[in-house]
Copies of this chain bind each other. A is one copy, B any other.
Amino acid sequence: MKNEQFVLANRPKGTPDDNTFRLEEISKKDPSDNEVMIKPLYISVDPYMRGRMSDAESYVAPFEVDQPLHGHVVGEVLASKAEGFAEGDYVVGIMPWQRYITITTDNIQKVQDANVPLHLYLSTLGMTGQTAYHGLLKIGQPQSGETVVVSAASGAVGSVVGQIAKIKGAKVVGIAGGKEKVAYLKDTLGFDAAVDYKSDDFEKSLEEAVPNGVDVYFENVGGKISDAVFKHLNTFSRIPVCGTISNYNDVEQDVGPRIQPILIKNQALMQGFVVGNYSNDFQEAGQTLAEWVKDGKIHTEVSVEEGFENLPKAFNNLFEGKNLGKQVVKI
């Protein structure tokens, strides 16, 4: 049976397109000692991967041109020559975008519980759930009765941020694009309010949604949407800075009001983070998240594209606001 992989053909300038990705035929490789062969069931696409497509210095090494893209994968072990892994095991980890993946087991692990939808290990029980958990609780530190605003609120991270904030007793306001997403946040996820940034009266709707100001702003988008939120910050507010998806594809530098006067006025804290900063606490957080999922306190929406060949399309969905919840590709 043939094998295929997606490589980074060219570093994108602006939005990734057909020139960015190249599908290549490669050979299947039987596992050597300490290796397993994995068939991916779901492959994750995540906004941070856009940064790896550029060669700018960042917190994670750039992808190499003509080499396979990598991302989180949940899959089934087809063959194993590695201790502790057997045929039929379900595993998760960062792996190359290949139809058949033969790798050492250094960076993969068995899923904790195979009796849940396996794509959860790419979302709420995986990296994006951990991101939401640590960014919100360690930096945002929402208190009962406080107002938490989250942008990209219907996305994989934002939707979990809002639901954890609700568990902690906060009033939660989500910002998302379009009526469908706004309805989803209020009706399905139980947010106290949701605001459509694509609406002409976005700024007014936002103001009405936060009559007591903003104590925690979980930053996923950057740009003008966030500028609008900053006008409502309370004294001693906290801003975990997780991402700025609004400008990942920008060629020009993102320019706007400088933040320093706002931080002084509100004695506010703003902190950038990546989930890896909290790896010592992954296990504990994973158990808590799994309990919340089991108890129905966290609902996970998943947007599925079918077929390995649709990985580039699924990736671009992230920047076009097409996904609701976690975007994955089902293989």
Contacts and interface: CB of A to CB of B under 8 A. Distances in A.
A272 B277 contact: no
B260 A257 contact: no
Interface in A214-261: 219, 222-223, 226, 235, 241-244, 247, 253-261
A268 interface: yes
A143 interface: no
A263 interface: yes
Interface in A305-325: none
Interface of A: 57-59, 219, 222-223, 226, 235, 241-244, 247, 253-274, 277
A261 B222 CA distance: 8
27 contacts: A57-B265, A59-B235, A59-B266, A219-B260, A222-B261, A223-B258, A226-B258, A226-B260, A242-B264, A244-B258, A244-B264, A247-B258, A253-B257, A254-B257, A254-B261, A255-B255, A255-B257, A256-B258, A259-B259, A260-B270, A263-B270, A264-B272, A266-B272, A267-B272, A267-B277, A269-B269, A269-B271
A131 B58 CA distance: 33
A275 to B, nearest CB: 11
A269 B259 CA distance: 13
Contacts of A264: 59, 241-244, 272-274
A257 B266 CA distance: 21
A262 B277 CA distance: 16
Nearest to A237: B272
A222 B257 CA distance: 11
Nearest to A264: B272
B255 A258 contact: yes
A254 B265 contact: no
Nearest to A274: B267
Contacts of A244: 258, 260-261, 264
